Structure formats: C-alpha cells, structure tokens
Chains A and B, each alone.
Chain A
Amino acid sequence: MSPVRRRRILIEHLQAYLFLLPALGLIGLFKIFPTFFALYISLFRWDVVQGAFRGLDNYADILFANPTRAEQFWRSLSTTFTFALLTVPLTMAAALTVAVLLFKPIRGRSFYRTLFYLPYVTSLVAAATIFSYIFHPNFGIVNEVLGLVGIGPQHWFNEPHGLFELIFSAAGVTLPDWAWGPSLALIGVAIFNIWHFFGFQVVIFMAGLGNISPEYYEAARLDGASERQIFTKITLPLLSPTTFFVFTIAMIGTLRAFESIYVMTNGGPLDTTRTTTMLIFRTFFQQTQLGLGSAMAFLLTLIILLFTLIQFRVLGRRVHYS
C-alpha cells in the first residue's frame, strides 16, 4: 500500500474515532465510570463514607453469610422473577394479538395504533396514581366490576395475601405457605406494567409484521392454507426475530422494574412486592449501606446477564432470520 493511501486511511480512521468521541465521552462519563465506581464501592464497608476494605464479604453477606440479608435478597429475587413471569408472557401475548389485528386493513387503524401507544408515553408516576384510584379497595371501579360477577371487594395494593391463598380460603381450604402464590398487590402492579408497556410491544410487533413479505401469504393462500395455518406456519416463525427481541428487552426491563412498584406499593405490603431493585434502593438510600447496595446491584446485573445469555442459547436457535 502506498504511503499516501495509508495516510488517507489513517486520517479516515481518525475522523471516525473523532466522530465517536463525544458519544464515547458521554457514555464513559455517565455509564461506564459509574459502573466501575459502583464495583469499587461494593468492595468496601461504605456507610455514607468509605470504610474498611471488605473484598467479597459484601457479596458473601448478601448470598449466604448474613442470614437476614441473604433471606431478604433471595426473597426479593423470587419476587422479581414471579413479577417477570406474571408480566412478560401476558404483555407479549396481548401485544401480538393486537398487532396482528391492527395489521389488517381495518378502519381507524391509525387511531387504534395511537390509542394503544398512549399508555407508554403517559407519565408512569401519574398513571400509577390513577391506578391507585381505579384499584381503590372500597371505592375503585375494578372492585365495582368484580362485584357484578359476585366477587367481593379486594384490597389490591394493600393485600399481602397470595392469590391462591385468597381463592382457596374463600372455599374454606387452607393452603401451605409455599402454595399461596403471588400477592394480590404484586398482581396489581403487574397489571399496571402490562397496561403501560404493551403499546410499545404492539409497535415493535407491527414493524416485525411489516418485514414479512406478502408473497409468502399469497403463496400459502393459493395452496389452500387456513388463516390459523398461515399464522402458525408463516407469521410466527418469520416473526421470531422480533419476538425474540421483544422477549429479551421485556425480560431485562421487568427484572429491572422500579418506578411503578415504588409509586404503587413502595415494596409493601409486608415486602410482597419488594423486588431486587426495590431492595437495592432501600439498602443504598434508606439504610445508606452503599457497599452492600452496590454489591446487590452487581449481583442483579450478573443474574440478568446470565439469564439473557441462557435466552440467547436456548431461544436463539429457534429464531428464523429468513
């Protein structure tokens, strides 16, 4: 390569890096540096101010060494995954159904699209406050509707009892602790999250549907395929990259969910909605145990990473990119 050409390539590379520099600087300052600093904090006793070096002792305390901390952490993790299980599949199923319906040439399609997207752009805190009124145990509309079908008023965000515990106790059956199920408060927050995020998923699914060539559908119809067959044999497989993307993003988002829980239940009642992010918040800001809080945050990050990796390994194989 001639020196002139080499110099030109070098200059081009330099230019590219210069263009990247502002973004890298911002990401470095506000994302990467705080992450490494949090890792540093997690290795110390840090009660408002830096204390003694503890190495991995904070991590050990959270996982097993300190019974109270460990019990709280594992319980919060269980709540977090229960919350994800309640939220992600239902949101995705609802979003996919609506996306498929809206993809058809129906009248007022744009209106419906905007309508379903509105919750996503509504202030989460304001919407959560409105939900508190909708789910008011005594004067809320949800209980009014339940009353029409013979179900008594529920305490929703104030209710620490498990769903199955409530159902079976109404029938006079006492369940063992492990079979109580998620608290009604957690289910209430999950309903809110489904309502809030499902519009976003509708838009993504619609974009995915738009990428499927209409020729496949025409060919299938010519071959006499039913609508159900078209959906299961063409739409679903060809939509799998979008579905996989939505699933991954939704799982990460739900495992990190904070604002809605903070506003609606603040981790209560009786810690039944205290997910790991809520526990981190309490440990870090309320108890000012910055070292322990940072260690918990790192453990959660590792768990999310691990979970995402498993998703890629297990589900990634089932994705059809063409």
Chain B
Amino acid sequence: MRLKAAIFSSILFVAAACGGGSPSGGGTTAEANAIDSVELKAPVSITLWHALTGDPQKSALENAIKQFNDTVGKERGITVTGLVQGNYTQLGQKALGAIQAGALPDLIHAYESNVADYMKADVVLNLDPYVQSKKYGLDKAGQDDIYQGYYDTNRFKQFNNQLLSWPFTKSLAVTYQNDDLLKEIGKQPAKTWEDFEANVKALAKKGPDGKVTRYGWAVPTDASYFDAMVYSRGGKLMADDNKTVAWNGKEGLDTLKMVDRLVKDGSAYVPPGFTGQDDFAASRVGYYMSSTSSLPFVKAAFKTPINWSVVNFPQADPAKAKTVQFGANVAVLKTTPEKQLASWLFVKWFSETDQTASWATTSYYMPVRKTAADKQVVKDFWAKNPQSKQAFDMIGVSAPEPNVRGQQDIRDVILEMMTKITTQKATPEDAIKVAGDKANRILKDNQ
C-alpha cells in the first residue's frame, strides 16, 4: 500500500514538474490526468473524523453519510465511516497525536489553522488536481456554482496557493436583532454604525433602582467579530503582502472607540460564555452577535416567541457589504491513490446541489452552492425559518479571515485587546497600538 502511494506520489511529482499551471490555482493538467488513471477496483473504506458532537448537526451528518453509502458508495464500492472525535479542540489534539503515530484518518474536519498545522507534517492532499480531473472532477459550471469565498478560505498562500481543504460546515458572523424591541423604541434597523450606536443606547433600560434591566448590545470579544466589524467599516485585516496586519488602522480604532463608549455608558456588556444567546432570547438584550450556526440554539432558547431577524453588521458602504465567513472545512489526507480518490468522491458528492441543499435544512449550516436556493426543500425550510434565508443572502458578501501561520496567536492578541477595552484596562489608542505591534511580531516570527 505504501509502495503504491509512493509510486503515485512520484507520478504526481513528475507530472507537476512537467505540466502547465491550471487557471484556478495549484493543480496541473498532468496531475489531473494522473488522477484520471486511478480506478476503484476493490472496495474502499474511508474514515472521516469530525467534531459535530451534538444534534441537529451530528444526526444530519450521519444521515448524509448513510445516504452516500447506500447510493454512490454502493455503486463504486466506497464505505464512509464518520467518527466523532469530540469538539474542535479535542479533534485537533487527536489529530496531532495521530500525526505522531502515523495513524491519521482519510478525511478530517478542520479549520484553516488546523490545516496549516497538518501541512507542517505534509499530510494534507492538494485538491486542485481532483477538482480539475476530467473523470472525477467538477465541470466549469459546477466550480462556478460554489461561492468564491469558499475557495478563497481553502486556498493557502503560504503553501503555494494550493487548495488544501473543501467547504464543509460553513456559517457566517451575523447580528441577531430583536425586532420587537426596536419597534418598542421606535427605531429602524441600523444601516450604519452611527445608527447602531444610537439604537443600542435607546435599547438600554434601567429599573427604578438604577440597575440595568436591559442592554442594547451583547459585545462579542472574540477576534472574528472584531474582524467582521473592521470589514464592515471598509477595512482590511492583512496588508497586501501578508507580512503585517491591517486591522490596526482607522477602522479598527473606530470599532474599539465605539465599544469603549457603549460599555462605559452602560448600554452594552460582555456576556460570559454562551449566556448571550439566553439573554437575547429573554429580550434582555437587543443585539447579539454570533455565528449562523447558533440559529438552532437561539431558537431553542426562546421561552416566549418574539419577532427577530438575522441581519448583517452595519456597513460603511452598503454597496460593498462584507462580513466574516465562519465555519470549518474538510481536508483529504494523504493515503493511497484509491482512498484519496474515494475521499474526494465523497467530498464532491457532499457538496453537490441536492446534498448541500438538504444539509442546509437539516444542520442549519450554509449551503456551499448558489443553486441550492432553487431547491424546493430549501424553499420550504426558509418558509418556516426565515432567519436562515436572511443568513443565506449574506453568503455572497462573506469573506474569510486570514489563514496565515500565527493567526491563532493573533486571534488571542485581538481578544486581549477587546478585553482591555471592555474592562477599561487601556484606551482604544493604546490597546490597538500594543496589539498591532504584538501581532506583527507574531507574523514576523512565523515567516
């Protein structure tokens, strides 16, 4: 098996050396041709390690795997086994151990930073040749049907721009808005950050004893929401050369200043853990920022029904609206040519219109294809869950966060910066200066 893998790798290596570059990135025609020559003559079993520990997502994935095994898998002799490995952190830990032991699965559910880590051990397969493969790949229409942002996040600049993973459990950074409370204060949904700030102040309410009984905004301190706010103000997260951060400019500072003002005047607060979604469901806060993957949990938290919406962050330029793309991907790991092909066929099948449409309705994750919106199952789902449609409409304006080495540490730096503001440990100017310098040092150390 190892010999076959070595021969196949050699073929790919030689093919890569001789072939011309494909327009979409790191794959070559010769590499794609080499994949075309692989045949699944004997039954193949592949294992997917994932981090979907709870329902509805876990059941949705199990059902999808069963459907694949009963249809395409049966035809081609592929059996997929999905194995929960705990949450994302635990999955990452197990993968690190498996790398040391040389006992990795065939497919792994992973964030971009995980993929970058696994690439240090050179265990991740470049998917470009598989996408380009005439026999097993995607045609032009199929490739174009998948949102560009999903390619962008799975293409790694530091690894020759290779497509190292494929969109899987995708979501978005959004704002959960209590429409009833907005109506109560006589305000319209915020279009700009100035509107938002005014709404937050108007939403905050104090009791006769002077104690806050309702907040305008549950401030998220996680790096992704700061990134989303920088995007929404028209800012960038990284300099063009990817060597320094760019969020420490005007857009970042304006974000911190707004947080500083709203926390100081008592109209915004930082909810501990996941308590923010309960506060939102109980109308104790007007705006709550979270991932679209929180949708089923927010819905479940309502004790009494209210009118609420999922909206994008206020935008500096609505014509260039932007938010952060969330969610993890799936990477195919280097094994044998047959297993790699079988893994790719499963991943490809999973992202086809029918499957991704069904996935969106059962798991609440975002579909990866635009044509999913045409499917009746999705239309029916949206009729019952209008917030999911509101989220879907934002996929096109979602952009990934950087996937450079050191990004995980930079996220900690941003969290620290946000905490300094929400706990009044530093002024916005000082906090962003210190954080920007720290982040740039991390980037330098990781180059």
B89 within 8 A of A: yes
Within 8 Å of chain A (Cβ to Cβ): is B140? Answer: no
A138 touching B212 by the CB < 8 A rule? yes
Whether A269 touches B419, Cβ cut-off 8 Å, given contacts A48-B121, A136-B275, A158-B272, is yes
Asked, given contacts A160-B423, A270-B416, whether A137 binds B269 with beta carbons under 8 Å apart, the answer is: yes
Residue of A nearest to B284 (CB): A139
Does A147 lie at the interface of the complex (its beta carbon under 8 Å from any beta carbon of B)? Answer: yes
Contact of A139 among B96, B279, B408 (CB under 8 A): B279
CB neighbours of A49 from chain B (8 A): 99, 120-121
| Contacting pair A157 B96 (CB below 8 A) | no
A259 to B137, CA, bound (A): 45
Distance in angstroms between the alpha carbons of A47 and B119 in the assembled complex: 11
Closest to A41 in B: B100
What A residues does B271 contact at CB under 8 A? 136, 138
Query: Which residues in window 400-447 of B have CB below 8 A to A?
Result: 408-409, 412, 415-416, 419-420, 422-423, 425
Q: Are A129 and B425 in contact (CB under 8 A)?
A: no
A285 lies within 8 A of B279 (CB): no
Selected interface stretch from A52-60, A286-294, A302-310:
A286-294
Verify A287–B409 contact, CB threshold 8 A: yes
Q: Is the CB of A158 within 8 A of B92?
A: no
A157 touches B272 (CB 8 A): yes
**When the two chains form their complex, are residues A270 and B419 in contact, meaning their CB atoms are under 8 A apart?**
yes
Find out whether the CB atom of B121 lies under 8 angstroms from the CB atom of A133.
no
Q: Tell me the complex Cα distance, A288–B420, Å.
A: 26
Measured CB to CB, the closest approach of chain A to B195, in angstroms, equals 24
Q: CB distance A132 to B96 under 8 Å?
A: no
Chain A residues with Cβ below 8 Å from B92 are: 285
Question: Once the chains are docked, how many angstroms separate the CA of A129 from the CA of B278?
Answer: 13
The A interface is mostly helix, strand or loop, or mixed, namely loop
In the bound complex, do residue A158 and residue B423 qualify as a contact, i.e. CB atoms below 8 Å apart? yes
B106 CB, min distance to chain A CBs, angstroms: 19
| Residues A48 and B117 in contact in the complex (CB < 8 Å), given A269-B419, A270-B419 | yes
Q: Is B118 an interface residue (CB 8 A)?
A: yes
Partner of B96, one of A48, A155, A269: A48
Interface residue B305 (Cβ < 8 Å from any Cβ of A)? no
Task: Please tell me if the beta carbons of B211 and A147 are within 8 angstroms of each other in the complex.
Answer: yes
Please give, as numbers and ranges, the residues of chain A lying within 8 Å of B416 by CB-CB distance: 268, 270-271
Given contacts A133-B275, A158-B272, A270-B416, contact A287 B408 (CB under 8 A): yes
Specify which of A139, A147, A155 is in contact with B423 (CB 8 Å cutoff).
A155
What residues of A have a CB within 8 angstroms of the CB of B270 in the complex? 137, 155, 158
Contact of B273 among A129, A287, A290 (CB under 8 A): A129
A residues near B120, Cβ cutoff 8 Å: 47-49, 288
Q: How far is the CA of A84 from the CA of B355 in the complex (A)?
A: 53
Partner pick for A285 among B93, B215, B284, B425, CB 8 A cutoff: B93
Size bracket, chain A contacts: 20 to 34
* Nearest-neighbor residue (CB-CB) of A132 within chain B: B273
CA distance A287 to B234 in the complex (A): 30
Chain A residues positioned under 8 Å from B415 (CB to CB): 268
- CB of B63, distance to nearest CB on chain A (Å): 28
Known contacts A48-B117, A138-B212, A132 near B272 by CB under 8 Å: yes
Which chain B residues border A129 with CB–CB below 8 Å?
273
Give the CA-CA distance A290 to B92 in the complex, in Å.
13
Closest to A51 in B: B120
Closest A residue to B278 using CB positions = A133
**Within 8 Å CB of B422, what residues of A?**
158
If A136-B275, A285-B93 touch, does A160 touch B211 (CB 8 Å cutoff)?
no
CB closest residue in chain A, given B438:
A68
Docked CA distance A264–B121 (Å): 33
B99 engages A48 (CB within 8 Å): yes
Distance, CA A136 to CA B120, complexed state (A): 41
Per the bound structure, the CA–CA distance linking A138 and B215 in Å amounts to 9
Q: Kindly report which residue of chain A lies nearest to residue B423, judged by CB atoms.
A: A160
- Residues 20-36 of A, flagged 1 when their CB comes within 8 A of B and 0 if not, give 00000000000000000
Q: Which of B278, B279, B419, B425 has the most CB of A within 10 A?
A: B419
The reply to whether the CB of A83 lies closer than 8 angstroms to some CB of chain B is: no
CB neighbours of A132 from chain B (8 A) = 272-273, 275
* Residue A135 at the chain B interface, CB threshold 8 Å: yes
Tell me which residues across on chain B come within 8 A of A290, comparing CB atoms: 96
Q: Does A205 contact B (CB under 8 A)?
A: no
CA distance A253 to B423 in the complex (A): 31
The digit string for A271-303, where 1 denotes a CB below 8 A from any CB of B, is 100000000001001111010000000000000
Known: A48-B118, A287-B408. 20 other contacts (CB 8 A): A48-B99, A49-B121, A136-B275, A137-B270, A138-B271, A139-B284, A153-B211, A155-B270, A157-B273, A159-B423, A160-B425, A161-B425, A268-B419, A270-B419, A282-B412, A285-B92, A285-B96, A286-B409, A288-B117, A288-B120
22 interchain pairs, CB-CB under 8 A: A48-B99, A48-B117, A48-B120, A132-B273, A132-B275, A136-B271, A136-B272, A136-B275, A138-B215, A138-B284, A139-B279, A155-B270, A158-B272, A158-B419, A159-B423, A160-B423, A161-B423, A161-B425, A285-B89, A286-B408, A287-B408, A288-B120
